[in-house]
Amino acid sequence: MADISDKPKDQGQEDHFEIPAPEPPLEKSLAAAASRLEADREFQGFLTGKITRQKWDWRLAIGFKIILFIFIVGLNLWWSRSALTIVKRSATEGSKFHLDNSVLIALVSTSIANFLALVIIVAKHLFPSQDK
């Protein structure tokens, strides 16, 4: 049975542990000093307002969103033009390329639906409303 008394253990029975010696300090390199100096300059620039990273981040984010939106609209316009070219070639008299009317209606209606849906979804995702 284990001894659960309130008496301290005998002096000879104490468990000893050793504290490790501290490691020697790291040597400072020229690269670390240069990095620290650059970080200090950048921090001072933020404090004085000369460097405004937040503004640049915002400008870049908005710029990339606008570029992506223009790309999506351009892609949609290209697809719509291709669909209309197919309809025009099919409707031209004397053309050897001919599609049934139901196929043409499906092509035009799905192209319009895809164009509108993709533009609306991308616009809502890239430029969310501020009321959230």
List average pLDDT for each run of 10 residues in the chain, which is 132 residues long.
60 68 78 83 75 72 88 89 88 83 88 87 82 60
Write the DSSP symbol of residue 3: -
Is 71 part of any domain?
A: yes
Q: Which residues contact 119 (CB under 8 A, 6 or more apart)?
A: 72, 73, 76
For the chain, how long is the longest CA-to-CA vector?
112
Is 24 part of any domain?
A: no
Name the CA dihedral angle for 118, 119, 125, 127, rounded to a multiple of 10 degrees.
Answer: 180
The pLDDT value recorded for residue 14 is 58
CB 98 within 8 Å of CB 90:
yes
CB 104 within 8 Å of CB 90:
yes
Domain that holds residue 108: 31-126
d(C-alpha 95, C-alpha 72), whole Å: 32
d(C-alpha 82, C-alpha 87), whole Å: 9
Counting the structural domains of the chain, the total is 1
Say how many residues make up the chain. 132
The tokens for 18 are 């050793």
The pLDDT value recorded for residue 84 is 87
State pTM to two decimals. 0.50
The pLDDT value recorded for residue 86 is 87
Is 36 part of any domain?
A: yes
Is 26 part of any domain?
A: no
CB 36 within 8 Å of CB 44:
no
